[in-house]
Amino acid sequence: MLIPEARLRARVRSLGQRIRADYRGREPVLVGVLQGSFVFMADLVRAIDLPLRCDFLRVSSYGERTDSSGRVRLVFGAAGSLRGKDVILVEDIVDTGITARRVLGMLRGVRPRSLRLCALLHKAGRTREAVRIDYVGFRIPDRFVVGYGLDFAGLYRNLPYLAALEGAGLGVQLSR
């Protein structure tokens, strides 16, 4: 167990309150990166007391490796137009930073009015590409984590808390 359910709930609630304060009078569009962000996103939007919209996109890194290859491909994009919108990209975790940087770059290309990044987790020690995270839930050590939407080989997304995989050696490198 790394982060119990109650701590997740409290932190997500306070992120929601900050976003509400920052976006007062606006109608932001929260764009979740599938699949990992879906649990966080569901809780986060319910913690933001504002009119808002939800959208999702999906990316894949080439190859089944944990070390981002740096090649991030958009599998499907947001369903609605994000042009001129106040967009908040919602990620489960920023690890090397490669995925978030690529996706932010793609989103900038559709000319939103504003663009910010919200990530539940940040493995700061692994950053290879600097990325500014406007809203971060928890900074965590370099452990492979599962639960609350995050998976290992597709499993554990339904854990209501965040856990570190024990004995995580090279095997977990296959999980992406």
Q: Supply the residues annotated as catalytic.
A: 95
- Rule CB under 6 A: say whether 95 interacts with ligand IMP: yes
- Rule CB under 6 A: say whether 137 interacts with ligand IMP: no
Name the minimum Å distance from CB 150 to ligand IMP: 4
The per-type count for the chain, helices as H runs and strands as E runs, is 3, 8
DSSP readout, 62-77?
SSS-SS--S-EEEEE-
Residue from 12, 15, 31, 99 that binds ligand IMP (CB under 6 A)?
A: 99
Residue written as token pair 């290879």: 128
> How many residues sit in the footprint of ligand IMP (CB under 6 A)?
17
**88, 116 contact by CB (below 8 A):** yes
68 makes contact, choosing from Mg ion, ligand IMP, none, with CB < 5 to 8 Å by partner type, with ligand IMP
Name the minimum Å distance from CB 77 to ligand IMP: 16
166-171 contacts: CB < 8 A, separation 24 or more?
A: 168/143, 168/144
Q: From CA 51, how far away is CA 85, in angstroms rounded?
A: 13
Residue from 23, 92, 147, 163 that binds ligand IMP (CB under 6 A)?
A: 92
- Rule CB under 6 A: say whether 68 interacts with ligand IMP: yes
Region of 42-50, 77-85, 104-112, 140-148 interacting with ligand IMP (CB under 6 A): 140-148
Q: From CA 4, how far away is CA 163, in angstroms rounded?
A: 8
- Residue number with CB closer to Mg ion (22 or 127): 127
The three-point CA angle 143-164-176 to 5° equals 70
Name the minimum Å distance from CB 66 to Mg ion: 12
Angle between helices 5-22 and 38-46 (to 10 degrees): 60
- Rule CB under 6 A: say whether 150 interacts with ligand IMP: yes
96 makes contact, choosing from ligand IMP, Mg ion, none, with CB < 5 to 8 Å by partner type, with ligand IMP
Residues forming contacts to ligand IMP in the complex (CB under 6 A) are: 36, 68, 91-100, 144-146, 150, 176
